[in-house]
Amino acid sequence: MTETRIFPQEATQPFAVALNIGSSAANHTGSWRSERPIYVDLLPPCNKQCPAGENIQQWLFHTEEGDYEAAWREIMVNNPMPAVMGRVCYHTCEGACNRGSVDEAVGINSVERFLGDKALREGWKVTPVNPDTGKKVLVVGAGPAGLSVAYHLRRLGHDVVVRDGAEKAGGMMRYGIPAYRLPRSILDGEIRRIEEMGVTFELGTKVTSLGGAFDEFDAVFLAVGQQLGRNVDVPSKTAAKVLDAVNLLGQVEKDGGNQSDDKPMLGRRVVVYGGGNTAVDAARTAKRLGAAESVILYRRTRDKMPAHDFEVQEAEEEGITLRWLETIKEIDEGEIMIEKMELDENGFPQPTGEYEKVEADTVVMAVGQQADLGLLDGVDGIEVEWGVVKVDSHFQTGHPGLFAGGDMIPAEKNVTAAIGYGKKAARNIDAYLRGDVYEAPEKHGDATLDRMETYYYSDAPHQVREKLDGIRRSSNWDEVVIGLDEETAVFEARRCMSCGNCFGCDNCFGVCPDNAILKIEPTKYEFKYDYCKGCGVCAQECPCGAISMIPEEI
C-alpha cells in the first residue's frame, strides 16, 4: 500500500538516528517507562457522518490499491445502490472530512459513483450471505428505504416481497428526481440487481389496507414515503394554471420523461413557489419542457433556502431566475400578485404591504410533501403525529411485527438517510424474526485531526467532476455531472489520510530508536515492550494518528 498512497516515505531508520533520538541497541528498557504505545482503530469522521453507515475509509483503501470489486463489495455491505448514491447523495461525509482542514476534502461521492458505474458495466452480483430462513417479510413501498430493507433482509436469508402502486420501482428516486440528475438506466440497473438476489416485486399493486397481511407474512415494513404535495392557502382564480411540483415531476416520468412528445404544456413563463430541492428540480424541469423563463420565488433569503447550494448554482447556470423575500398573494390567469417581504429583528420574513403583478402562465407549488397514511386505518397501536408515524428505537410501531422507515417516520428526509434507515430496520426485523432484540455495537473513538501529522501528506488537489455547459444542457435531459475516469478516481481515493487507522506507511517502524516494533504484515505491526522505553516518537510521527500513549500499568 505504501507505494500507492500520496505520502512521502522519508521516515526511515537512518532518519531516526539523524535526529539523535536513540540507538538501536537491544537493551531491555520496559521497566523505565511511564507510558506505553498501543495501536488503535478509531472512527473516521467520514464513516461517522455517513447516513448509510458506509465504511468509507475501507473502500477508499481498496480503490487506491486497484481492487475495485473489493471496494464495491465493501460499499454493498451497507448500501445497495452506490451508482445512485454517487449522483444524488448530498455527501455530508465530505463536509466532515479531516482533509478539508488541510487543503480540500476527499471527493468521496465521486469515487463511489465510479465504483457503482463500474459494477454495473462489469455485471457484479450480490448473493445472500445466510441460507434461507423460511421467514417472509412484506415491504410496502419501492423507494430507497423499501429497496434497502428488502436488500438487507434478503442478504440475511429472508423471503421478501415488495409491493408498490407505481408501475416501476424507485419511488421518489424515479418520480421525484429528474433524469438529468439520475439517469434511469443507472436506477434500473441497481434495482435489477436487488431483484436478481431473489426479492419479489409486485408493482402496480397499491396497498390500501394491511388487513390479512400478518396471515401471509411474519413481519411488515412500511416505506410509503412522502409523495403527496402539501396544500398552501393561496387564492386562485378558476382559469389559473396551478400545478404541484411533486405531481409535475412524477408526470414527466410517467409520460416517458425525455422520450415523450406528450410533455406538459407549461407556457412561456413558469413561476415555482418554494425554496427546497424539489422547487429547484421543478424549475429546471420546466426549462427543459420548453419554458422560455423559469423563476423560483421564495419568501426568505438565499441563506435560509433549504435547497443545497450546488443545486441552486446549477439552476442559475441554466438561466433559472431566483427572487427572494417575495410571497404569492393571489393567482390569476396569466399572472400572479406577489407581496414583498422584509426581515424583522429576529431574521423572520414579514409582509410589507407592497405588491407587484408578475406574469406567469403556470404556477408550480413546491411547499413540501406528506405521506399517504390511509393504509394504516384500523391498525391497532399506530401513533401518528405531524403527519409521520411514531416508531421506537428498533423501527417498530406500536403494532407487533409492523415496522416503518424512510420519509414516513420522524427523521432526516433524503435518499441516503432512507437507505440507512432501511439497513438499520432490516437488522431489527431480522432480530425480531429470530425472537431476539438487535443491539447496535459500540462505536470506536473519534479520529480527530489533532492526533495526526498532516505535513506528511502531499499537496494533492481535489479532482473536480466536469459538468455540461449550462445553456446547452437546459434544453435536453442529458446527465449534467460527468463522472471521474479510472485515473482520476484512483488519484482521489489516494488523497484519503486514513484518519485513525494504520495504513502501513512504516513510519513507526522506521523512527523507533530501540527496534521495539515488529512488522508482522504490510499493515500490521506489534510493539515489543521489553525493548520500548516509552519515548512516544512513534505516536508523534504517526501520520494518521493510529498510535496512542497510555499510562504504564504498575
**20 pLDDT more than 60:** no
pLDDT band per the 50, 70, 90 thresholds, residue 15: very low
Check which CATH number belongs to the domain holding 277 and give it. Answer: 3.50.50.60
Q: Which residue has the higher pLDDT, 1 or 244?
A: 244
Predicted confidence at residue 256, as pLDDT, reads: 66
pLDDT at 5 over 50: no
Q: Is residue 4 part of a domain?
A: no
- Taken in order 482, 483, 484, 485, the sign of the CA dihedral is negative
pLDDT of residue 9: 33
272 domain-assigned: yes
Q: State the pairing for strand pair 228-229/35-39.
A: unpaired
Q: Residue 499 pLDDT > 90, yes or no?
A: yes
User: What's residue 229's pLDDT?
Assistant: 65
Asked if residue 182 and residue 144 are part of one domain, the reply reads yes
Residues forming beta bridges with residue 137, ordered by sequence position: 160, 219
**Residue 472 pLDDT:** 87
pLDDT in tens, 307-363: 999 999 999 999 999 999 999 999 998 899 999 999 999 889 999 999 999 999 999
Q: How far apart are CA 120 and CA 185, in angstroms?
A: 10
Say if 376 falls within a structural domain: yes
Residue 405 in any domain: the answer is yes
Integer-rounded Cα Rg, in Å, for the chain is: 27
Phi, psi of 295 (to 5 degrees): -125, 135
Note the pLDDT of residue 26.
42
Strand 293-297 and strand 321-323: pairing?
parallel
Residue type at position 492: E
Whether residue 55 is found in the same domain as residue 36: no
5 secondary structure, DSSP code: S
Q: CA–CA separation, 46 vs 293, rounded Å?
A: 40
Q: pLDDT value at position 76?
A: 98
Closest CA to 234 of 118, 337, 351, 135: 337
Say whether both 244 and 362 belong to one domain.
yes
pLDDT band at 262 (very low <50, low <70, confident <90, very high): low
* Whole-number average pLDDT of the chain: 88
Share of the chain above pLDDT 70, in %: 91
Residue 5 inside a domain? The answer is no
Same domain, 146 and 179: yes
Residue-wise pLDDT tens digits, 408-417: 887 788 899 9
Q: Is residue 34 part of a domain?
A: yes
| Cβ-contact 516, 539 below 8 angstroms | no
Query: pLDDT band at residue 63, thresholds of 50, 70 and 90?
Result: very high
Can you give the pLDDT at residue 2?
37
Is the distance from CB of 545 to CB of 15 less than 8 angstroms?
no
Residues 150, 180 within the same domain: yes
Same domain, 526 and 406: no
pLDDT digits (tens, 9 = 90+) for 100-139: 999 999 999 999 999 999 999 999 999 999 999 999 999 9
- For 51, the domain range is 45-124+448-470+481-494
Q: Which residue, 333, 351, 369, sits at the end of a domain?
A: 369
149 and 213 inside one domain: yes
Confidence bin at 12 (pLDDT 50/70/90) = very low
Q: Are residues 290 and 362 in the same domain?
A: yes
What CATH code is carried by the domain that includes residue 535? 3.30.70.20
| φ and ψ of 273, to 5 deg | -105, 115
Higher-confidence residue of 369 and 494: namely 494
The one-character DSSP state at 483 is P
**Cell numbers 414583498: residue:** 340
Most confident of 153-157, 221-225, 380-384: 153-157
| Average pLDDT value for residue range 294-308 | 93
Place of cell 410533455: 263
Q: How far apart are CA 519 and CA 90, in angstroms?
A: 40
- Does one domain contain both 183 and 245? no
Q: Is the dihedral of CA 238, 240, 244, 248 positive or negative?
A: positive
Q: Are residues 151 and 180 in the same domain?
A: yes
Q: Are 98 and 497 in contact (CB under 8 A)?
A: yes
**Position 6 confidence tier, pLDDT thresholds 50, 70, 90:** very low
End-of-domain residue from the set 369, 392, 416: 369
**Confidence class for position 379, pLDDT limits 50, 70, 90:** confident
pLDDT at 401 over 50: yes
Instruction: Please enumerate in sequence order all residues whose Cβ is within 8 A of that of 517, keeping only pairs 6 or more positions apart, or say none.
Output: 508, 509, 525, 526, 527, 528, 538
Is the pLDDT higher at 23 or at 165? 165
Sequence-distant (≥ 6) Cβ neighbours of residue 198 within 8 angstroms = 128, 154, 159, 160
Report d(CA 191, CA 49) in Å as an integer. 25
* Whether residue 281 sits in one domain with residue 235: yes
**Residues 266 and 329 grouped into a single domain:** yes
Q: Using CA atoms, how far apart are residues 278 and 219, in angstroms rounded to an integer? A: 33
State the pLDDT confidence band at 455, using cuts at 50, 70 and 90.
confident
CATH number at residue 115: 1.10.1060.10
CA separation for the pair 185, 442 (Å, rounded): 39
Mean pLDDT highest for which of 257-271, 383-397, 491-505?
A: 491-505
Q: Would you say residue 291 lies in a domain?
A: yes
> Could you tell me what percent of the chain has a pLDDT over 90?
71
How far apart, in whole angstroms, are the C-alpha atoms of residue 409 and residue 397? 10
At residue 210, does pLDDT exceed 80? yes
Backbone angles phi, psi at 100, to 5 degrees: -60, -20
Number of domain units in the chain = 4
Residue 129 maps to a domain: no
